[in-house]
Chains A and B, each alone.
Chain A
Amino acid sequence: KAGVTQTPRYLIKTRGQQVTLSCSPISGHRSVSWYQQTPGQGLQFLFEYFSETQRNKGNFPGRFSGRQFSNSRSEMNVSTLELGDSALYLCASSWGQEPSSGNTIYFGEGSWLTVV
């Protein structure tokens, strides 16, 4: 079956603009998480959605937001872009709430955002 799909793969934005990234999870998966990856900060959790509800949120400013649709597809938005927002944004999907297992999260290849 198809994996996690993220679009766009690469984009360049200007400081102050906003950006929307899209994620299509694996079919049947209801949980979508977003992560930011930078050389300096590593992989950091942004937020997680399950059945259209945000369940958890990482330590990021309110400029970072997201949503999930009824078909489990998710989008994240970053407003008023700053140079420091340049990063790889990764989406991951899983079937649902399975805290006893560590191998049910599948990542997309990410969206590379460059802010100039």
Chain B
Amino acid sequence: GQSLEQPSEVTAVEGAIVQINCTYQTSGFYGLSWYQQHDGGAPTFLSYNALDGLEETGRFSSFLSRSDSYGYLLLQELQMKDSASYFCAVKYRNNLFFGTGTRLTVIP
């Protein structure tokens, strides 16, 4: 089976940097994805790591280390609109298995 663990809640200040970690116990997956979900909305894709290392997409960056079974999402220059839930996910046979989710609250 697939198991992905994330911190349940994180609070950060507007303009700051925050890191959301994801540790997993899985095998045979193709990469680690990150999704954002605002309350009442659909999950939307943020970033994907097929290989170890850092991927940067604007204010968002994601990192993967397969040897450590660990990844993280880095959000820079936090904005109030970044308050949402963030999920890591592994793609296995064209299906996504999601982490437990992290609720990010950005405060002024």
Contacts and interface: CB of A to CB of B under 8 A. Distances in A.
Interface of A: 4, 31, 33, 35, 42-45, 48, 50, 55-56, 90, 92, 94, 96-103, 105-110
- Kindly state the interface size class of chain B when it binds its partner: 20 to 34
Nearest to B57: A103
Interface of B: 30-33, 41-45, 48-50, 87, 89, 91, 93-101
Contacts of A101: 30, 48, 50, 91
A24 B43 CA distance: 17
4 closest A-B pairs by beta carbon, nearest first, are A102-B48, A43-B98, A102-B33, A107-B42
Given A106-B45, A107-B44, 4 more contacts: A42-B87, A45-B97, A99-B94, A102-B50
A42 B98 contact: yes
Given A101-B48, A102-B33, A102-B50, A109 B93 contact: no
